[in-house]
Structure 1
Amino acid sequence: MSNKEIFIETYNKNIHRPGAEKLLAWLEGTDFFTAPASTRFHAAYEGGLLDHSLNVYNVLISKHFNPETDDLESYTIVSLLHDLCKAGFYKTELRNRKNDRGEWEKVPVYAVDDQFPYGHGEKSVFLIERFMRLRTEEAIAVRWHMGGFDESVKGGSFALAHAFEKYPLAVKLHLSDLEATYLHESRGE
């Protein structure tokens, strides 16, 4: 089974909220399943965003999900869709790079082409909510999944601290995103 098939099966099995089918149909019309997760850091290859989303889901479920107290639908939504903002976010362009023989050659690389500069986590929340409503805890988790790496918290943020204090799912998603990024995914060099 391909990663796309695993994603769709997991999504359909665990997410039953009104609008979920329309959101998945929208995803299929974007580059979500083929886009990289970054330009040169983690999973910077075709399909990297899909791989990253599944990695975050797997870490979140295996390490932080308690079936007796936690909602599988919520955990699935935040993990699979936390980086929805990266759909339609990258383009390929050619750059000069020296090859093994020391000669310059043009090579394709990923570059950011943000047509809707709305932020990172907040953009994902906005895009999800175009199709289905998020619970407060889910919206907070997706909004703050970058933790201290978010541009809006340079120098510290009481909003981030309060979100983590009040919504454990936000902390769990952030930890899962970090682990997937730094321990399970390669740099795309």
Structure 2
Amino acid sequence: MGYKEDFISIYQEHISREGSKELLEWLQTTDFFTAPASTKFHCACTGGLVQHSVKVYQVMMEKHFEEGADNPESFAVCALLHDLCKAQFYKCSTRNVKNEETGQWEKQPYFSVEDMFPYGHGEKSVFLIERFMRLKTSEAMAIRWHMGGFDDTAKSGGYAISNAFDKYPIAVKLHLADLESTYLREKGTSSVNRR
């Protein structure tokens, strides 16, 4: 089974609230299942976004799920959909790169950003999800702040991220799972745009 099938299986098993079916149907009309997760860092390859989403879910469940304290549906919502903002976000292009062995210039594929809806990162994912289904406050906070200190708003010195992490443990758990997946488990999963 591939990452798309894993994603759909986890989604359908754990997410059942009103609007979830319509959200999944919409996802399948986008490039979510074929898009990269980044232009050159982690999972910068076709299908990288869905791979990253499944990996974050796996890390979150393996390392941070506490039976009786955590909600399986909330974990699935947060992990699988935290980067929904990256659907319809990347464009595959080509550029000339010199082959060091032959000295010849060759066309190589690479991903670039083409943000048609520049609404931020985490907040854009929250907005897109809520077009179909309601999020719990804790889920919205987790998705909004999953980038942690890498988020531009967090860098400006606001206390919002600290307050969110303090009030909503799932926000910390999603951030940690995203970090571990990105920097430890997805190393070497880029097939384009590695320079």
Q: What TM-score comes out, normalization by structure 2 length? A: 0.94
Q: Deviations over 1:98-133 (max 9, x none)?
A: 113233222110000000000000000000000000
The corresponding residue for 2:33 is 33
The corresponding residue for 2:176 is 175
- Stretches (4+) displaced over 6 A: none
Q: Deviations over 1:41-64 (max 9, x none)?
A: 000000000100000000000000
The corresponding residue for 1:166 is 167
Is the partner of 2:73 in helix, strand or coil? helix
Q: Deviations over 1:76-119 (max 9, x none)?
A: 00000000000000001112211132332221100000000000
Provide the rounded CA distance (Å) in 2 between the counterparts of 1:177 and 1:126: 20
The corresponding residue for 1:67 is 67
> What's the CA shift for 1:155?
4.0
Provide the rounded CA distance (Å) in 2 between the counterparts of 1:41 and 1:184: 12
State the AA in 1 paired with 2:145: W
The corresponding residue for 2:17 is 17
Number of aligned residue pairs: 189
Provide the rounded CA distance (Å) in 1 between the counterparts of 2:158 and 2:186: 28
Is the partner of 1:35 in helix, strand or coil? coil
Provide the rounded CA distance (Å) in 2 between the counterparts of 1:63 and 1:156: 29
Q: Identity of counterpart residues, as a percentage?
A: 60
Counterparts of 1:136-147 in structure 2 under 5 Å?
136-147=137-148
Provide the rounded CA distance (Å) in 1 between the counterparts of 2:151 and 2:103: 38
The corresponding residue for 2:115 is 114
The corresponding residue for 1:91 is 91
Provide the rounded CA distance (Å) in 2 between the counterparts of 1:157 and 1:104: 47
Provide the rounded CA distance (Å) in 2 between the counterparts of 1:183 and 1:61: 16
Provide the rounded CA distance (Å) in 2 between the counterparts of 1:147 and 1:69: 23
Structure 1 spans left out of the alignment, 5+ residues: none
Q: Does structure 2 conserve the Cα–Cα contact (< 8 Å) formed by 1:148 and 1:156?
A: no
Is the partner of 2:17 in helix, strand or coil? coil
Provide the rounded CA distance (Å) in 1 between the counterparts of 2:136 and 2:57: 18
Q: Does 1:133 align with 2:129?
A: no
